[in-house]
């Protein structure tokens, strides 16, 4: 099954689950974008696309921008806190693009070593977890992103997500 | 069900993988059996790196497969903050997995996990695990070098950041 067909099948799966999405083209790459309401309790959106990690293996990438326009001061705080914050998260993790001022959440599921039935079940189960983790992470990092708390202050609290 | 047969799954996986590793055994931990393997470190000929595979019983008919490669232990205290930053610079450039720095334990590992259906065929789970481990190994061999260099003062944080920007 090629990647376009796989994305199409994922689209059918999302349709059946009643999840809103659209197909898009980002830099010549086919993607699926799942959109959520602009709410602190939800990620802004999740983009699904296929990457090639090598060894003739394909990975489905779940990517969600959590926050943009982050100032250098807040970015410093994120660099302090993220290695610790990611400890409890087993599917992917939060990361930053320092020069772009972006905080994101990212997970890649290797797919084509799985049989077809297992693969689509895994894609769906991982999407549930990715949606929940990215939303919860956004909520927990919000005081830092808003400048209300420093990394050191947040790390004093029970702030990690354990999933 | 994989959740019922995972000792068998780990044993078969270990049997297939053992030629590739120095050591390969199942460790009975409190949380259940864990397959442990080790091989020479690509960074330091006097050291080894350890691999672990474990299965966690999930919910609603799924299990979590967890793969770790323990890269560095006994990291010096003064390098921890820089390594934490370096991980933040490197992670966005990885095709999968995450470098994890455990500051309290002063160790660094590389981790990839997957949720798979509990009714997955065991041979498929084994093939999936071997593929995952080989891809993780390749990433670690390629990118762990920068982290090792940072620990030993041969690479600077600025160089790692510049390399990330160039990708």
pLDDT score recorded for residue A82: 92
State pTM to two decimals: 0.91
Average pLDDT over residues A71-100: 92
pLDDT of residue B94: 87
Model pLDDT, residue A146 = 94
**pLDDT tens digits for B133-144?**
999 999 999 889
ipTM for the complex shown: 0.89
Strand blocks (E) in B75-118 = 98-102, 107-117
Q: From B166, which residue of chain A is nearest by alpha-carbon distance?
A: A99
Would the CB atoms of B91 and A95 count as touching at under 8 Å?
yes
Residues of B with CB under 8 A from a CB of A: 60, 62, 64, 66, 81, 83-85, 87-89, 91-92, 95-98, 100-103, 111-117, 120-121, 124, 127-128, 131-132, 134-135, 138-139, 161, 165
pLDDT reading at B100 higher than 70: yes
Mean pLDDT, residues B116-136 taken together: 94
Q: How far is A103 from chain B (nearest CA, A)?
A: 10
> Cα A37 to chain center, whole Å?
16
pLDDT at B163: 82
CA A127, A132, A136, A139 dihedral sign is positive
- CA distance linking residue B158 with residue B89, whole number of Å: 10
Residues 72 to 111 of A: which have CB under 8 A from any B CB? 78-80, 82-84, 86-87, 90-93, 95-99, 104, 106, 108-110
Q: B2-75+94-144 architecture in CATH?
A: 2-Layer Sandwich (3.30)
Assigned CATH class of A3-155: alpha beta
Opening angle at CA B112, ends B109 and B113, nearest 5:
130
Q: What pLDDT does A142 receive?
A: 93
Give B109 or A52, the one with higher predicted confidence. Answer: B109
DSSP string, chain A: --HHHHHHHHHHHHHHTT--EEEEEETTEEEEEEE--S-TTS-SEEEEEEEEEETTEEEEEEEEEEE-S--HHHHHHHHHHHHHHGGG--S-EEEEETTTTEEEEEEEEE-TTS-HHHHHHHHHHHHHHHHHHHHHHHHHHHHHHTTSS-HHHHHTSS-----
**H helical segments located in chain B:** 2-17, 80-90, 122-151, 157-166
Residue of chain A minimizing CA distance to B162: A99
pLDDT in tens, A31-63: 999 987 655 556 668 999 998 776 667 899 999
């Amino acid at each position: 099954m090629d990647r376009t067909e796989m994305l199409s099948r994922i689209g059918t799966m999302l349709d059946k689950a009643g999840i809103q999405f659209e197909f898009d083209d980002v830099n010549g790459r086919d993607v699926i974008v799942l959109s959520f309401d602009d709410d602190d309790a939800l990620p802004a959106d999740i983009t699904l696309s296929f990457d090639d990690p090598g060894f003739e293996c394909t990975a489905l990438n779940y990517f969600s921008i959590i926050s943009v326009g982050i100032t250098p001061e807040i970015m410093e705080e994120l660099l302090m806190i993220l290695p610790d914050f990611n400890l409890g998260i087993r599917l992917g993790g939060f990361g930053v693009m320092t020069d772009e001022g972006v905080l994101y959440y990212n997970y890649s599921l290797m797919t084509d070593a799985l049989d077809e039935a297992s693969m689509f079940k895994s894609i769906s189960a991982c999407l549930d977890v990715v949606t929940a983790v990215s939303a919860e992470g956004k909520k927990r990092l919000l005081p830092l992103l808003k400048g209300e708390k420093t990394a050191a202050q947040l790390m004093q609290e029970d702030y990690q997500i354990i999933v | 069900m994989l959740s019922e047969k995972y000792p068998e799954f780990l044993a078969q996986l270990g049997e297939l993988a053992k030629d590739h590793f120095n050591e390969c055994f199942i460790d009975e931990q409190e949380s259940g059996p864990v397959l442990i393997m080790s091989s020479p470190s690509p960074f330091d000929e006097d050291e080894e790196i350890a691999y672990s595979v474990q299965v966690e019983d999930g919910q609603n008919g799924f299990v979590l497969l967890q793969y770790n490669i323990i890269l560095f232990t006994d990291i010096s205290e003064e390098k921890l903050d820089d390594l934490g930053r370096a991980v933040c610079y490197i992670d966005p450039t990885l095709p999968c997995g995450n470098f994890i720095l455990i500051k309290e334990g002063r160790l660094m590992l590389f981790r990839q996990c997957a949720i798979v259906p509990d009714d997955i065929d065991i041979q498929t789970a084994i093939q999936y695990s071997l593929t995952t481990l080989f891809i993780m190994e390749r990433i670690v061999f390629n990118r762990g070098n920068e982290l090792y260099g940072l620990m030993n003062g041969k690479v600077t944080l600025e160089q790692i950041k510049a390399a990330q920007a160039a990708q």
